[in-house]
Amino acid sequence: MEKKSEKNNILITGSSGQLGQCIEKIKKNYPGLQLHFASSKELDITKKEEIQRFFEGKSFNFVVNCAAYTNVEQAEKAPEKAFLVNATGVLNIAQVCKEYDTTFIHISTDYVFDGSKETPYLEEDIPNPINEYGKSKLSGEQYIQEILEKYFIIRTSWLYSEFGHNFFKTIVKKSETETELMITTFETGTPTNANDLAKFILDLIVNNNQKHGIYNFSNLGEATWYDFAKEILRISGKLEYIILKKTDNYATFAERPKYSVLMKQKLENTFDLSILTWEESLINLYSII
């Protein structure tokens, strides 16, 4: 990676979410970075004037936008809420970043794709979201590309961690009280440990890489939600006590991509990065919780 930067003043929006909490957890490993954490209660990105006030006198070199509306089901029923945060909010940040010459690091999603492909998605593949959540995230990406030159759009998938609400924590909780779980095999993607993504983001800032653009970041490999649940139960030692059943019936209001694995070759080559498999990273998470 490139020469380390002296620029080290960073704003983390949406800091109360799982990725924001993962970044805050490892900040002690980056003493040269001045990290400013702002939850949605402290900074509403849908209000541009709030962002501008936050920037005044701060000289932020980077903004890492972890703020997002991620409820896929509710986004289908009330898309205006998803677009307000995921599109208008991102537009507001991009405009202020332009004004202050700040590099924008934005977290996007595999759901910008329709899932019709049978091989991992490249950054250059044409997005075609099939639900309102995906459409709102794509709109945010497009605003960034229209306004800024200094940006990193990081598409990720199936984020989980010890923080917040996610599939990993749901399975762990259910395994404490239930003896039978029915998990879908309809979707294939890649579980991604948010701790790995947090480390990549801070390393990206520290090393001051200027190769801006869109990058895919997830752990390596692919799985269905059933596969993920089975591995969670296996590592926790509960698989032998729980009946785990497959189902291809995925009764949800929002349509979801059947296949959304992301190709990481561009990111690995650009940043000389070694990425863990999703199974390895899941084991790592168990070692710290």
Q: pLDDT tens for residues 131-160?
A: 999 999 999 999 999 999 999 999 999 999
Mean pLDDT confidence for 47-68:
95
Look at residue 211 and tell me if it is in a domain.
yes
Where in the sequence is the domain holding 29, given as residue range(s)?
9-165+191-221+260-276
Report pLDDT digits (tens) over 17-52: 999 999 999 999 999 999 999 999 999 999 999 999
pLDDT at 3: 35
Look at residue 52 and tell me if it is in a domain.
yes
List all residues 6 or more positions away from 99 whose beta carbon is below 8 Å from its beta carbon: 52, 55
Q: What is the mean pLDDT of the chain?
A: 94
The alpha carbon of residue 199 and the mean position of all alpha carbons in its chain are separated, in whole angstroms, by 12
pLDDT at 5: 42
Report pLDDT digits (tens) over 173-204: 999 999 999 999 999 999 999 999 999 999 99
Look at residue 114 and tell me if it is in a domain.
yes
Look at residue 143 and tell me if it is in a domain.
yes
Supply the DSSP symbol for 101: T
pLDDT at 209: 86
pLDDT at 288: 77
The total number of structural domains that make up the chain: 1
Is the per-residue pLDDT at 2 higher than 60? no
pLDDT at 7: 60
Look at residue 31 and tell me if it is in a domain.
yes
Structure pTM?
0.95
Cα distances from 60 to residues 55, 64, 122, in angstroms, run 7, 10, 31
Look at residue 89 and tell me if it is in a domain.
yes
Q: Residue 214 belongs to a domain with what CATH number?
A: 3.40.50.720
Is 133 within 8 Å of 70 (Cβ atoms)? yes
Look at residue 217 and tell me if it is in a domain.
yes
Look at residue 241 and tell me if it is in a domain.
no
